[in-house]
Chain A
Amino acid sequence: MVVRGLPEAEREVLRARLREAFVPFATDGGHELPGVALCAAAS
């Protein structure tokens, strides 16, 4: 939603930064980004 309100030139800068940040996560079929969830059980 933040991005939608930005000028196109700035949006292109953001896209370029995103492409750069994604490079380490490249795979054969695209990109895979890891994540870690904290799961809790309680009673």
Chain B
Amino acid sequence: MASSGGGPSLVRRRPRIEGKLGTRGRNEVREPVRCGYDRRVDVGDYRRTSQEVWEAMAPGWERWRAQLTEALTPVREWLIGALGPQPGETVLELGAGTGETGFEAAALLGEDGRLISSDFSPEMVEVAPRRGSELGLSNVEYRVIDAERVELDSGSVDGVLCQSTYMLVADPAAALAETRRVLRSGGRMALSVWGPPERNPWASIGGMILLERGHMAPPEPEAPGVFSMASAERTRALLERAGFRSVRIEEVSVRFAFRALDEYEQ
């Protein structure tokens, strides 16, 4: 992305790519590949691009919902177990996508409880209700909410769920501070982010090949992206800086199955 020069800018410069994806399936470094990138990421540009990307991805996300849901079952179960939704409570899900994680919470909240299923992409917010209706859920409110500027009162929810989203927002510290703000005193939150690229070939292979072929700039470790919170230390520090205590972080393994290569390409 090119800088527009406006707003807070994250100026990144990295003149060459350090390595190349190995042929054995691991992200081993083989030989250096030179590339002449001048990387400038503008927060405003990033937010606009994210909107465009998720608008474009929403139909595919819905099409692959069943496969994604199956692959992410261990993460979803961990998050629900850690949050422990109770009947009558209000739970906010940020970055809900197709809504599956929050829907499992909604079933536990009961008729007197409420799930606010939200996403910053209006197109994704159109997807989730279709699945919610299929499941017969009547205690779900669907809203467009930006995790960095949550339009809810302070202390208004008992729990927050967020699967694979904080690492993608332009300012995760702001998003976590907003999460803390909307939680009541004693409220709980459960989140997931992705570990390092070498342990997530399902997400890194495509990017590594694009990088190797010079079609993509190498990501900076803390610039928003799939692996920007891959360090448990960084994730813990962000949570604690946002005012959270009793932080517990665990690794959860998943497996993504593809019957054919073109399933992955899509």
Q: How many residues of B contact A (CB 8 A)?
A: 66
Alpha-carbon gap, A15 to B251, bound state (A):
31
Interface of B is mostly: mixed
Q: A29-B259, A30-B260, A31-B261 are in contact. Are A42 and B247 (CB under 8 A)?
A: yes
A43: which B residues are within 8 A, CB to CB?
A: 186-189, 244-246
Flag if A21 contacts B205 (CB, 8 Å): yes
CB-CB contacts of B82-94 with A at 8 A, as 1s and 0s?
Answer: 1100000000000
In this complex, what residue of B is CB-closest to A25? Answer: B25
Identify the stretch in B34-42, B107-115, B144-152, B195-203 within 8 Å (CB) of chain A at 4 or more residues: B195-203
Q: A6-B215, A36-B200 are in contact. Are A21 and B23 (CB under 8 A)?
A: yes
Alpha-carbon gap, A38 to B199, bound state (A):
11
The 4 A-B pairs of least Cβ separation, nearest first, read A24-B25, A33-B202, A41-B82, A42-B244
Residues of A that sit less than 8 Å from B by CB: 1-3, 6, 10, 13-15, 17-25, 27, 29-43
Residues of B that sit less than 8 Å from A by CB: 21, 23-26, 53, 56, 71, 75, 78-79, 82-83, 164, 186-196, 199-203, 205-206, 208-210, 212-213, 215-216, 229-230, 232, 235-236, 239, 244-261, 263-265
